[in-house]
Amino acid sequence: MNDANNKTGVSLVVRGLRKSFDGQEVLKGVDFEVKPGEIFVIMGPSGSGKSVLLKHLIGLEMPDAGEILINGEPVTSPEIAAKFRMALVFQSGALLNSLTVGENVGLYLAEHRLKSPDEIQKIVAEKLADVGLKDVMDKTPDELSGGMKKRAAIARALVIEPQLILYDEPTSELDPLSSVVIGEEILHLNQRTGVTSLLVSHDRDLAFGVADRIAVIAEGKILIIGTPDEVKKFNDPLVQKFLHADFKREPEPKNL
Ligand SMILES: Nc1ncnc2c1ncn2[C@@H]1O[C@H](COP(=O)(O)OP(=O)(O)O)[C@@H](O)[C@H]1O
Ligand SMILES: [Mg+2]
Protein backbone atom coordinates (compact mmCIF):
# COMPACT_ATOMS: atom_id res chain seq x y z
CA MET A 1 0.00 0.00 0.00
CA ASN A 2 1.12 3.53 -0.63
CA ASP A 3 1.99 5.95 2.14
CA ALA A 4 -0.67 8.27 3.49
CA ASN A 5 0.95 11.38 1.99
CA ASN A 6 0.16 10.31 -1.52
CA LYS A 7 -3.24 11.77 -2.36
CA THR A 8 -3.73 10.12 -5.76
CA GLY A 9 -6.03 7.31 -4.72
CA VAL A 10 -9.63 7.85 -3.67
CA SER A 11 -11.58 5.99 -1.01
CA LEU A 12 -14.52 3.85 -2.02
CA VAL A 13 -17.47 2.78 0.10
CA VAL A 14 -20.15 0.34 -1.03
CA ARG A 15 -23.10 0.00 1.32
CA GLY A 16 -26.05 -2.36 1.23
CA LEU A 17 -25.85 -2.86 -2.54
CA ARG A 18 -28.68 -4.99 -3.91
CA LYS A 19 -29.50 -5.93 -7.47
CA SER A 20 -31.95 -8.38 -9.03
CA PHE A 21 -32.43 -9.41 -12.62
CA ASP A 22 -35.80 -10.92 -13.55
CA GLY A 23 -36.59 -11.72 -9.92
CA GLN A 24 -33.20 -13.37 -9.33
CA GLU A 25 -31.21 -11.52 -6.68
CA VAL A 26 -27.59 -11.33 -7.83
CA LEU A 27 -26.23 -8.88 -5.21
CA LYS A 28 -27.77 -9.49 -1.81
CA GLY A 29 -26.59 -6.54 0.25
CA VAL A 30 -22.89 -6.01 -0.46
CA ASP A 31 -20.85 -3.87 1.96
CA PHE A 32 -17.15 -3.02 1.83
CA GLU A 33 -14.73 -0.10 2.03
CA VAL A 34 -11.53 0.42 0.09
CA LYS A 35 -8.98 2.83 1.52
CA PRO A 36 -7.05 5.35 -0.59
CA GLY A 37 -4.10 3.60 -2.23
CA GLU A 38 -5.21 0.16 -1.16
CA ILE A 39 -5.21 -2.97 -3.33
CA PHE A 40 -8.51 -4.64 -2.53
CA VAL A 41 -9.46 -7.93 -4.15
CA ILE A 42 -12.96 -9.33 -4.35
CA MET A 43 -12.48 -13.02 -4.90
CA GLY A 44 -15.18 -15.52 -5.65
CA PRO A 45 -16.33 -18.20 -8.05
CA SER A 46 -17.81 -17.53 -11.49
CA GLY A 47 -21.36 -16.26 -11.34
CA SER A 48 -21.03 -14.84 -7.82
CA GLY A 49 -21.81 -11.27 -8.96
CA LYS A 50 -18.35 -9.75 -9.32
CA SER A 51 -18.80 -8.20 -12.77
CA VAL A 52 -22.28 -6.96 -11.87
CA LEU A 53 -20.74 -5.23 -8.86
CA LEU A 54 -18.11 -3.50 -11.02
CA LYS A 55 -20.79 -2.38 -13.47
CA HIS A 56 -22.48 -0.54 -10.61
CA LEU A 57 -19.24 1.25 -9.78
CA ILE A 58 -18.81 2.56 -13.34
CA GLY A 59 -22.49 3.46 -13.73
CA LEU A 60 -23.46 0.75 -16.23
CA GLU A 61 -25.98 -0.65 -13.75
CA MET A 62 -28.11 1.15 -11.17
CA PRO A 63 -28.62 -0.47 -7.77
CA ASP A 64 -32.07 -1.54 -6.53
CA ALA A 65 -30.90 -0.46 -3.08
CA GLY A 66 -27.74 0.73 -1.39
CA GLU A 67 -25.15 3.36 -2.19
CA ILE A 68 -21.68 3.95 -3.54
CA LEU A 69 -19.46 6.72 -2.15
CA ILE A 70 -16.17 7.96 -3.56
CA ASN A 71 -14.16 10.15 -1.18
CA GLY A 72 -17.33 10.31 0.92
CA GLU A 73 -19.56 11.58 -1.91
CA PRO A 74 -22.46 9.46 -3.12
CA VAL A 75 -21.96 8.93 -6.84
CA THR A 76 -25.59 9.27 -7.73
CA SER A 77 -25.24 11.60 -10.70
CA PRO A 78 -22.95 11.71 -13.73
CA GLU A 79 -21.71 15.15 -12.55
CA ILE A 80 -20.40 13.74 -9.27
CA ALA A 81 -19.01 10.62 -10.92
CA ALA A 82 -17.20 12.83 -13.45
CA LYS A 83 -15.24 14.52 -10.65
CA PHE A 84 -13.26 11.35 -10.13
CA ARG A 85 -11.02 9.63 -12.61
CA MET A 86 -11.90 6.00 -12.74
CA ALA A 87 -10.54 3.40 -15.17
CA LEU A 88 -11.73 -0.09 -15.93
CA VAL A 89 -9.48 -2.82 -17.27
CA PHE A 90 -11.83 -5.29 -18.95
CA GLN A 91 -11.68 -9.03 -18.69
CA SER A 92 -10.69 -9.50 -22.33
CA GLY A 93 -8.50 -6.43 -22.64
CA ALA A 94 -10.86 -5.26 -25.39
CA LEU A 95 -8.31 -3.69 -27.73
CA LEU A 96 -9.41 -2.79 -31.23
CA ASN A 97 -7.58 -4.80 -33.87
CA SER A 98 -8.15 -2.18 -36.55
CA LEU A 99 -5.95 0.26 -34.61
CA THR A 100 -2.31 0.02 -33.61
CA VAL A 101 -1.46 -0.59 -29.97
CA GLY A 102 -0.40 3.05 -29.66
CA GLU A 103 -3.67 4.27 -31.19
CA ASN A 104 -5.62 2.04 -28.80
CA VAL A 105 -3.80 3.44 -25.79
CA GLY A 106 -4.26 7.04 -26.97
CA LEU A 107 -7.83 6.58 -28.22
CA TYR A 108 -9.58 8.32 -25.34
CA LEU A 109 -7.35 11.40 -25.55
CA ALA A 110 -7.72 11.56 -29.33
CA GLU A 111 -11.50 11.06 -29.36
CA HIS A 112 -12.01 13.79 -26.80
CA ARG A 113 -9.49 16.11 -28.48
CA LEU A 114 -7.80 16.41 -25.11
CA LYS A 115 -4.25 16.66 -26.45
CA SER A 116 -2.45 17.30 -29.71
CA PRO A 117 -1.29 14.26 -31.71
CA ASP A 118 2.32 14.93 -30.65
CA GLU A 119 1.40 15.11 -26.99
CA ILE A 120 -0.69 11.95 -27.31
CA GLN A 121 2.26 10.16 -28.89
CA LYS A 122 4.43 11.16 -25.94
CA ILE A 123 1.87 10.12 -23.32
CA VAL A 124 1.24 6.79 -25.05
CA ALA A 125 4.97 6.01 -25.13
CA GLU A 126 5.23 6.90 -21.44
CA LYS A 127 2.23 4.77 -20.40
CA LEU A 128 3.41 1.80 -22.44
CA ALA A 129 6.84 2.10 -20.82
CA ASP A 130 5.10 2.24 -17.41
CA VAL A 131 3.76 -1.27 -17.96
CA GLY A 132 7.00 -2.61 -19.39
CA LEU A 133 5.94 -2.47 -23.03
CA LYS A 134 8.34 -0.82 -25.42
CA ASP A 135 8.54 -0.87 -29.19
CA VAL A 136 5.03 -2.23 -29.66
CA MET A 137 3.34 1.08 -30.39
CA ASP A 138 3.04 0.41 -34.14
CA LYS A 139 2.05 -3.23 -33.86
CA THR A 140 -1.58 -4.33 -33.93
CA PRO A 141 -3.08 -6.02 -30.86
CA ASP A 142 -3.28 -9.41 -32.58
CA GLU A 143 0.53 -9.40 -32.88
CA LEU A 144 0.86 -9.31 -29.07
CA SER A 145 0.88 -12.20 -26.60
CA GLY A 146 -1.98 -12.52 -24.10
CA GLY A 147 0.09 -10.98 -21.31
CA MET A 148 1.19 -8.07 -23.50
CA LYS A 149 -2.43 -7.38 -24.46
CA LYS A 150 -3.38 -7.15 -20.80
CA ARG A 151 -0.50 -4.78 -20.17
CA ALA A 152 -1.55 -2.64 -23.15
CA ALA A 153 -5.07 -2.56 -21.70
CA ILE A 154 -3.63 -1.32 -18.40
CA ALA A 155 -1.58 1.33 -20.26
CA ARG A 156 -4.78 2.48 -21.96
CA ALA A 157 -6.42 2.85 -18.54
CA LEU A 158 -3.46 4.91 -17.30
CA VAL A 159 -3.82 7.76 -19.82
CA ILE A 160 -6.46 9.44 -17.68
CA GLU A 161 -4.16 9.32 -14.60
CA PRO A 162 -6.82 7.37 -12.70
CA GLN A 163 -7.55 7.73 -8.99
CA LEU A 164 -9.30 4.37 -8.98
CA ILE A 165 -8.53 1.41 -11.23
CA LEU A 166 -11.00 -1.43 -11.47
CA TYR A 167 -9.71 -4.70 -12.86
CA ASP A 168 -12.15 -7.41 -13.96
CA GLU A 169 -10.38 -10.79 -13.99
CA PRO A 170 -7.04 -9.31 -15.06
CA THR A 171 -5.40 -12.73 -15.36
CA SER A 172 -8.14 -14.66 -17.11
CA GLU A 173 -6.92 -16.39 -20.27
CA LEU A 174 -3.29 -16.08 -19.14
CA ASP A 175 -0.78 -18.81 -18.36
CA PRO A 176 0.57 -18.86 -14.76
CA LEU A 177 3.81 -17.08 -15.63
CA SER A 178 2.07 -14.22 -17.46
CA SER A 179 -0.37 -13.99 -14.56
CA VAL A 180 2.49 -13.38 -12.16
CA VAL A 181 3.84 -10.62 -14.43
CA ILE A 182 0.42 -8.93 -14.51
CA GLY A 183 0.17 -9.21 -10.72
CA GLU A 184 3.57 -7.54 -10.39
CA GLU A 185 2.48 -4.82 -12.80
CA ILE A 186 -0.61 -4.11 -10.69
CA LEU A 187 1.58 -3.90 -7.58
CA HIS A 188 4.17 -1.60 -9.20
CA LEU A 189 1.51 0.78 -10.50
CA ASN A 190 -0.13 0.94 -7.14
CA GLN A 191 3.16 1.62 -5.37
CA ARG A 192 4.36 4.17 -7.90
CA THR A 193 1.17 6.19 -8.31
CA GLY A 194 -0.79 5.52 -5.12
CA VAL A 195 -3.88 4.69 -7.20
CA THR A 196 -6.62 2.82 -5.37
CA SER A 197 -6.95 -0.59 -6.99
CA LEU A 198 -10.01 -2.82 -6.88
CA LEU A 199 -9.70 -6.22 -8.50
CA VAL A 200 -12.39 -8.83 -8.95
CA SER A 201 -11.10 -12.27 -9.75
CA HIS A 202 -11.49 -15.97 -9.19
CA ASP A 203 -7.68 -16.32 -9.33
CA ARG A 204 -6.62 -17.30 -5.81
CA ASP A 205 -2.88 -16.95 -6.50
CA LEU A 206 -3.36 -13.43 -7.83
CA ALA A 207 -5.55 -12.41 -4.87
CA PHE A 208 -3.12 -13.67 -2.26
CA GLY A 209 -0.15 -12.29 -4.21
CA VAL A 210 -1.26 -8.67 -4.56
CA ALA A 211 -4.02 -7.86 -2.06
CA ASP A 212 -3.74 -5.65 0.98
CA ARG A 213 -7.16 -7.02 1.86
CA ILE A 214 -9.43 -9.62 0.32
CA ALA A 215 -13.21 -9.96 0.36
CA VAL A 216 -14.61 -13.38 -0.48
CA ILE A 217 -17.94 -13.23 -2.30
CA ALA A 218 -20.29 -16.14 -2.96
CA GLU A 219 -23.76 -15.96 -4.45
CA GLY A 220 -23.95 -12.20 -4.09
CA LYS A 221 -22.93 -12.00 -0.42
CA ILE A 222 -19.55 -11.14 1.06
CA LEU A 223 -18.53 -13.89 3.48
CA ILE A 224 -15.41 -12.30 4.96
CA ILE A 225 -13.17 -9.26 4.52
CA GLY A 226 -9.64 -9.42 5.88
CA THR A 227 -5.92 -9.53 5.21
CA PRO A 228 -4.76 -12.51 3.15
CA ASP A 229 -3.69 -14.21 6.41
CA GLU A 230 -7.04 -13.60 8.08
CA VAL A 231 -8.89 -14.96 5.05
CA LYS A 232 -6.71 -18.09 4.94
CA LYS A 233 -7.47 -18.79 8.57
CA PHE A 234 -11.18 -18.01 8.38
CA ASN A 235 -12.97 -21.13 9.46
CA ASP A 236 -15.99 -21.13 7.21
CA PRO A 237 -16.85 -24.15 5.06
CA LEU A 238 -17.77 -22.10 1.95
CA VAL A 239 -14.62 -19.98 2.11
CA GLN A 240 -12.39 -22.98 2.77
CA LYS A 241 -14.05 -24.89 -0.05
CA PHE A 242 -13.30 -22.06 -2.47
CA LEU A 243 -9.72 -21.64 -1.22
CA HIS A 244 -8.90 -25.32 -1.43
CA ALA A 245 -10.97 -26.45 -4.39
CA ASP A 246 -8.82 -28.85 -6.37
CA PHE A 247 -9.05 -31.69 -8.82
CA LYS A 248 -10.24 -34.95 -7.45
CA ARG A 249 -9.13 -38.01 -9.38
CA GLU A 250 -11.68 -40.71 -9.76
CA PRO A 251 -10.50 -44.07 -8.42
CA GLU A 252 -8.88 -46.21 -11.13
CA PRO A 253 -11.54 -48.26 -12.88
CA LYS A 254 -11.13 -51.96 -12.18
CA ASN A 255 -11.18 -54.95 -14.52
CA LEU A 256 -9.79 -53.14 -17.51
N1 LIG B 1 -27.90 -8.05 -17.35
C2 LIG B 1 -28.17 -9.20 -16.72
N3 LIG B 1 -29.39 -9.76 -16.81
C4 LIG B 1 -29.69 -10.91 -16.18
N5 LIG B 1 -28.81 -11.61 -15.42
C6 LIG B 1 -27.56 -11.12 -15.29
C7 LIG B 1 -27.17 -9.90 -15.94
N8 LIG B 1 -25.87 -9.65 -15.63
C9 LIG B 1 -25.49 -10.67 -14.84
N10 LIG B 1 -26.48 -11.54 -14.63
C11 LIG B 1 -26.41 -12.76 -13.79
O12 LIG B 1 -25.84 -12.39 -12.55
C13 LIG B 1 -25.02 -13.46 -12.04
C14 LIG B 1 -23.66 -12.92 -11.69
O15 LIG B 1 -22.98 -12.56 -12.88
P16 LIG B 1 -21.53 -11.93 -12.89
O17 LIG B 1 -21.48 -10.72 -12.04
O18 LIG B 1 -21.16 -11.76 -14.32
O19 LIG B 1 -20.64 -13.08 -12.24
P20 LIG B 1 -19.06 -13.14 -12.06
O21 LIG B 1 -18.82 -13.24 -10.59
O22 LIG B 1 -18.62 -14.40 -12.76
O23 LIG B 1 -18.48 -11.91 -12.68
C24 LIG B 1 -25.02 -14.55 -13.10
O25 LIG B 1 -25.97 -15.52 -12.72
C26 LIG B 1 -25.46 -13.80 -14.34
O27 LIG B 1 -26.12 -14.67 -15.23
MG1 LIG C 1 -17.11 -11.67 -14.27
For residue 33, the model assigns a pLDDT of 98
In the predicted model, is pLDDT for residue 10 greater than 90? yes
Render pLDDT for 164-177 as a digit per residue (tens, 0 to 9). 999 999 998 888 88
Mutate to test the pocket of ligand 1, among 17, 24, 26, 58 (most ligand atoms within 8 A of CB): 26
Mean pLDDT lowest among 59-63, 92-96, 156-160, 204-208: 92-96
In the predicted model, is pLDDT for residue 155 greater than 50? yes
Domain co-membership, 25 together with 150: no
Domain co-membership, 68 together with 193: yes
For residue 147, the model assigns a pLDDT of 87
The CATH number of whichever domain residue 178 belongs to comes to 3.40.50.300
What is the bridge-based pairing of β-strands 213-218 and 221-226?
antiparallel
Residue predicted with more confidence, 249 or 243: 243
Task: Quickly state the pLDDT bin for 50 (edges 50, 70, 90).
Answer: very high
Residue at 221 is within a domain? yes
Task: Quickly state the pLDDT bin for 81 (edges 50, 70, 90).
Answer: confident
Q: What percent of the chain has pLDDT over 90?
A: 56
Instruction: List the residue whose alpha carbon is closest to atom 25 of ligand 1.
Output: 47
Instruction: List the residue whose alpha carbon is closest to atom 9 of ligand 1.
Output: 52
In the predicted model, is pLDDT for residue 4 greater than 50? no
Domain range for 112 is 98-161
Domain co-membership, 111 together with 152: yes
Domain co-membership, 143 together with 239: no
Residue at 179 is within a domain? yes
Collapsing DSSP to helix, strand or coil, 2 comes out as coil
Spatial distance between the Cα atoms of 50 and 43, rounded to a whole number of angstroms: 8
Among 137, 161, 185, residue at a domain's last position: 161
Spatial distance between the Cα atoms of 1 and 8, rounded to a whole number of angstroms: 12
**How many domains are contained in the chain?**
2
pTM assigned to the model: 0.88
Domain co-membership, 125 together with 238: no
Instruction: List the residue whose alpha carbon is closest to atom 16 of ligand 1.
Output: 49
Q: How far apart are the first and last CA of the chain?
A: 57
Mean pLDDT lowest among 49-53, 76-80, 97-101: 76-80
For residue 91, the model assigns a pLDDT of 67
For residue 21, the model assigns a pLDDT of 97
Spatial distance between the Cα atoms of 253 and 256, rounded to a whole number of angstroms: 7
For residue 233, the model assigns a pLDDT of 93
Please state the atom number of ligand 1 nearest to the C-alpha of residue 217. Answer: 21
Q: Is the CB of 102 under 6 A from ligand 1?
A: no
Q: Is the CB of 172 under 6 A from ligand 1?
A: no
Which ligand number lies closest to the CA of residue 23?
1
Q: Is the CB of 50 under 6 A from ligand 1?
A: yes
In the predicted model, is pLDDT for residue 255 greater than 80? no
Strand order across the 196-201 sheet: 86-89, 164-168, 196-201, 39-43, 213-218, 221-226
Among 116, 145, 161, residue at a domain's last position: 161
Residue at 81 is within a domain? yes
For residue 93, the model assigns a pLDDT of 65
Among 121, 138, 161, residue at a domain's last position: 161
